């Protein structure tokens, strides 16, 4: 089935950003494996992707905290064939005060945002190496660029994920594969809807479009919308003696 068709594994496919990306690649005629926990919602998305032109679209179970769900994803990717691609949208961000009160939450946050998807990607990497092509899109967060009082557990998980992606890029580039690290700023999703202090909120469709441009151009790390690169440049360059006293 190596007919040059793109086959996309989308982890955490029911998020708004993932839905936008799934629709965009569906319109290009890709095969889609939509992975997540909410099977009803993913079945609806699969139907919608089929309508929009996907060669095939199916919902599969994926839980970042349940390693038993990882293997079947890879088996299904092998069976579907084509050029293997993956996009990771998983992550969870419990409010920091809840984490402070219940430190056990740290493990789940790190599994959702880093170690769960990293295990799947590590299992998927040999498929890309064997195909000699394929791209992995890892969605991190600007929160991973510097630890802040409001969400440093989530931030550190995303920082770990970003470092993992950088290493994976270094590995896959040798065999013709590629990894794009995506750092979105504020995106208009259920997570940010109605939150105070949001500004310059980007629609998920714009984020999906910039991700696909980055995939085509072989970019390594993108901020989306682009201006977040400069916002984070400023935030990263604040000296620690000053930064530690700020609450931004």
CB of 199 to other proteins, least distance (A): 14
Site for other proteins in 172-191 (CB under 8 A): 189-190
Contact residue for other proteins among 28, 52, 146, 219 (CB under 8 A) = 52
Name the packing angle between helices 39-51 and 16-27 (round to 10°): 30
Take residue 78 and report the two structure tokens written for it.
Answer: 């092998």
Dihedral angle of Cα 180, 35, 123, 111, to the nearest 10 degrees: 80
CB of 56 to other proteins, least distance (A): 15
Contact residue for other proteins among 3, 40, 104, 216 (CB under 8 A) = 40
Known catalytic membership, residue 154? yes
Please report whether residue 193 would count as binding other proteins according to CB under 8 A.
yes
Distance CA 200, CA 160 (A): 26
Contact residue for other proteins among 1, 29, 47, 79 (CB under 8 A) = 47
What element of type H or E holds 143?
none
Distance CA 116, CA 96 (A): 21
Please report whether residue 205 would count as binding other proteins according to CB under 8 A.
no
Which range, of 43-51, 114-122, 132-140, 218-226, touches other proteins by CB under 8 A? 43-51
3-state helix, strand, coil in the chain (%, to 5): 50, 15, 30
Distance CA 171, CA 168 (A): 5
Q: Which residue among the candidates 152, 154, 164, 230 is catalytic per the annotation?
A: 154
Active site residues: 154
Residues forming contacts to other proteins in the complex (CB under 8 A) are 14, 16, 19, 38, 40-41, 44-45, 47-48, 51-52, 189-190, 193-195
């Amino acid at each position: 089935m190596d007919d040059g068709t793109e086959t996309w594994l989308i982890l955490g496919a029911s998020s708004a950003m993932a839905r936008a990306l799934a629709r965009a690649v569906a319109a290009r005629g890709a095969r889609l494996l939509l992975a997540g926990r909410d099977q009803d919602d993913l079945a609806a998305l699969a139907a919608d992707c089929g309508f929009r032109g996907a060669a095939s679209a199916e919902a599969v179970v994926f839980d970042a905290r349940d390693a038993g769900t990882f293997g079947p994803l890879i088996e299904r990717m092998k069976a579907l064939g084509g050029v293997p691609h993956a996009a990771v949208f998983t992550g969870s961000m419990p409010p920091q005060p809840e984490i402070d009160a219940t430190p056990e939450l740290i493990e789940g946050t790190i599994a959702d945002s880093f170690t769960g998807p990293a295990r799947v990607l590590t299992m998927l990497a040999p498929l890309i190496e064997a195909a000699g092509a394929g791209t992995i899109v890892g969605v991190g967060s600007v929160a991973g660029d510097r630890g802040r009082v409001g969400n440093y557990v989530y931030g550190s998980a995303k920082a770990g994920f970003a470092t993992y992606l950088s290493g994976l890029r270094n590995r896959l580039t040798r065999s013709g594969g590629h990894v794009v690290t995506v750092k979105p700023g504020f995106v208009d999703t259920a997570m940010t809807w109605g939150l105070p202090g949001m500004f310059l909120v980007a629609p998920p469709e714009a984020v999906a479009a910039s991700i696909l441009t980055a995939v085509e151009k072989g970019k390594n790390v993108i901020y989306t919308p682009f201006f977040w690169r400069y916002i984070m440049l400023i935030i990263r360059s604040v000296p620690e003696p000053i930064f530690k006293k700020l609450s931004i």
